[in-house]
Amino acid sequence: MERLLIIDPGDTTTRAAAYDLEGAEPRLLGRSELESAALIVDPGTPRAPGIAIVDPVGGAAALVGEPAADLAGADAFLAASPDAWKLHAIVRALLYRHFAGGERVRVLLIADAEGEKAERLGELAAAIDGERVDVTVAVGLEGRLDARTFEVGAEVEQAGLCLHERADALGLFDGDRPVAALDIGHRTSRFSLLDPEAGIVDTLTIPTGGATYVEHVLSRGRELGALSCRETPVLRQIRAGTALALDLGGVTVLAGRLLDAPHRALDDALAAEIGSRLSRRVEQGAPPPGALLVSGALARAHLPTLANRLAARGHPFARQAALPPAPTPLIEGALRLALGAGATLG
């Protein structure tokens, strides 16, 4: 049986989609979303029913997802360190979650063009490509072991090219004018200029992202005397985006007023970097981008305000689009790249 597993391992959230490739068109088998966290633990560590412990590199046991972050806090996330064993554990957990064992699975890992996590993902793809991958999971309180084996092919796809596919599908390209694409991450954001024919023609890593919100809330919590305010609970509340008030560990504050300042700060930082980059390109004779495409968990919140700031810097966009975080637009783009432009999510 031929299967495809596309994984988008973000700094704090990993999203994945599994497909059956046996028919004329790919058939969606399921989607997953889990926290991008892993923690090596002693095999005897108590665990709740249904929580899996998988075997990453070296045969060690590791908790994956929310259980890891619950125990280790922010250090468990890829945002803290994109360690190879964390990525191995997350990939194995997703193989186990989506497939019964015995399948041939093509694993497609989405990565930035550069950076430490991109390097680790490239190494992971090389390590498991063409290999038999064994996944052993301890299930439930009794720790019953369940082993599954997969024949794996693995490769890495650039996140910028995935966004290029989404821009094309949305009809954002106008003649030879590029699309300005911004993927807002947790600690870094990636700006790319996407040419309709040449693909990615320029990239810029901006050292800021959603962590701006978390850091501001933690600082405010300390000012208010919330000594038990911790990064992981704050991150989860902000990521949910539905709370009118935030619990900072015994101190409750209104979310709207508290989050205004980091919203402005992130807009200002992104607009300064992107505006400067666009100005230099225009001065060199390059055509200005005709559209702005923003992705990431904060895309919808920041698109209008960021577009206004860029317009004030002399870079208006007639067309603008914010891509929802789920299902991840990077997975949609990766599927089109893997199977042809006519492919859909099903």
The closest alpha carbon to 108, from 345, 334, 332, 327, belongs to: 334
Tell me the pLDDT tens digit for each residue of 84-140.
999 999 999 999 999 999 999 999 999 988 889 999 999 999 999 999 999 988 776
Which band of pLDDT confidence, cut at 50, 70 and 90, is reported for residue 345?
very low
Which band of pLDDT confidence, cut at 50, 70 and 90, is reported for residue 221?
confident
Quick check: is 66 in a domain? yes
pLDDT recorded at residue 220 = 86
Which band of pLDDT confidence, cut at 50, 70 and 90, is reported for residue 344?
very low
pLDDT recorded at residue 342 = 43
Quick check: is 179 in a domain? no
Structure tokens at 1: 């049986």
Is 168:341 a contact under the CB 8 Å cutoff? yes
- Residue written as tokens 């980059």? 277
CA distance 161 to 150: 28
Kind plus residue range of the DSSP H or E element containing 232: helix 231-240
The closest alpha carbon to 335, from 108, 118, 155, 128, belongs to: 108
The closest alpha carbon to 187, from 205, 163, 162, belongs to: 205
Sequence-ordered list of residues with C-beta below 8 angstroms from that of 258, at least 6 positions apart, any chain: 216, 217, 220, 246
Quick check: is 251 in a domain? no
Number of domains in the chain: 1
- Global pTM value: 0.90
Q: What's the CATH code of the domain at 138?
A: 3.30.420
Tell me the pLDDT tens digit for each residue of 158-182.
999 999 999 999 999 998 899 999 9
Write out the residue range of the structural domain in which residue 126 sits. Answer: 2-160+330-339
Starting at the edge strand found earlier in the chain, the sheet holding 13-20 runs: 27-35, 13-20, 2-9, 104-111, 144-158, 131-139, 53-54, 61-64, 38-41
Residue 24 has pLDDT above 90, yes or no: no
Quick check: is 254 in a domain? no
- Residue written as tokens 């550069």? 114
Quick check: is 213 in a domain? no
Quick check: is 99 in a domain? yes
Quick check: is 270 in a domain? no
Which band of pLDDT confidence, cut at 50, 70 and 90, is reported for residue 227?
low
pLDDT recorded at residue 346 = 41
Structure tokens at 203: 């990239």
Tell me the pLDDT tens digit for each residue of 30-83.
999 999 999 988 655 555 544 566 665 555 678 899 989 998 999 999 999 999
CA distance 257 to 57: 45
The closest alpha carbon to 128, from 7, 29, 22, 33, belongs to: 7
Structure tokens at 159: 């996140």
pLDDT recorded at residue 304 = 96
The mean pLDDT of 3-13, rounded to a whole number, is 95
CA distance 51 to 284: 55
Quick check: is 296 in a domain? no
